[in-house]
Amino acid sequence: MIIAVDGPAASGKGTIARALARHYDLPHLDTGLLYRAVAATVLRHELNPAKEADAVAACDFDDLLLADPALRDDEIGKVASIVSAHPLVRAALLQRQKRFAAQEDGAVLDGRDIGTVIAPNADAKLFVKATPTIRARRRHAELHAHGSSLTFDQVLADIRARDQRDSTRSTAPLVAAEDAATLDTSFLSIEAAVQKAIDLVEAARARKAAACG
């Protein structure tokens, strides 16, 4: 079974994807980390994230980097959204994600284009959303807990800028797949959101089983 989980920053998609992977005993890939690793490599080598050739050169990062907690940094998220708009960067990371999705046991992937590009044939697709204010509140609390001094207004402005960039780029923009179920987590606890996600996956599986006769 392949489960695709997409949505904007701090919508709760990572939390939901991890919980689904545990529930169904499937491997999980947070694809945002790949773009964050490219961003971190760009910054380390003092390259220009807006230049496609510079960003492509940074796609050859050391896999150990994916485990670095510093990738969660807000600045890295911002640069990730700049490098991820380059078609050649997306192409460089495509096969690795498709391979992950195609492994025999199945997989859960979360990101922006899982249901539309990486795994268009996924058995279940969720599009997770929440209002910008609520997402900014969540991200602000997270960053604050990690010692960041960014204000709520700065985090909200960053979230809006990232939404705008991710939704308007020409290659693989952030958009719900036509056959995705939308899950609004704005007023849901984590437990309630996870339960709703499981229910939606079960409904998608039942529909698929019925369609296969």
Residue with token string 């380059």: 86
User: Cβ neighbours of residue 136 under 8 Å, at least 6 residues apart?
Assistant: 10, 152, 155, 156, 159
Q: What are the tokens at 61? A: 């990062």
**Nearer Cβ to ligand CDP, position 34 or 204?**
34
Residue 9: CB minimum distance to ligand CDP, A: 3
**Nearer Cβ to ligand CDP, position 166 or 204?**
166
Residue with the closest Cβ to ligand CDP?
A: 32
**Nearer Cβ to ligand CDP, position 28 or 112?**
112
**Nearer Cβ to ligand CDP, position 26 or 55?**
55
- Among residues 82, 102, 84, 101, the alpha carbon closest in space to that of 93 is found at 84
Summarize the annotated binding site for ATP as residue ranges.
Answer: 7-15
For 96, other C-beta atoms within 10 Å of its C-beta total 14
Residue 153: CB minimum distance to ligand CDP, A: 17
Residue 108: CB minimum distance to ligand CDP, A: 12
| 129 DSSP 8-state letter | E
**Nearer Cβ to ligand CDP, position 145 or 212?**
145
Residue 212: CB minimum distance to ligand CDP, A: 28
Distance CA 166, CA 160 (A): 10
Distance CA 99, CA 33 (A): 16
Sites of contact with ligand CDP (CB under 6 A): 7, 9-15, 31-32, 35-36, 77, 80-81, 84, 111-113, 138, 142, 162, 166, 185, 188, 190, 193
The b-or-e profile of 173-193 (16+ CB within 10 A means b, else e) is ebebbeebbebbbeebeeeeb
Residue 130: CB minimum distance to ligand CDP, A: 7
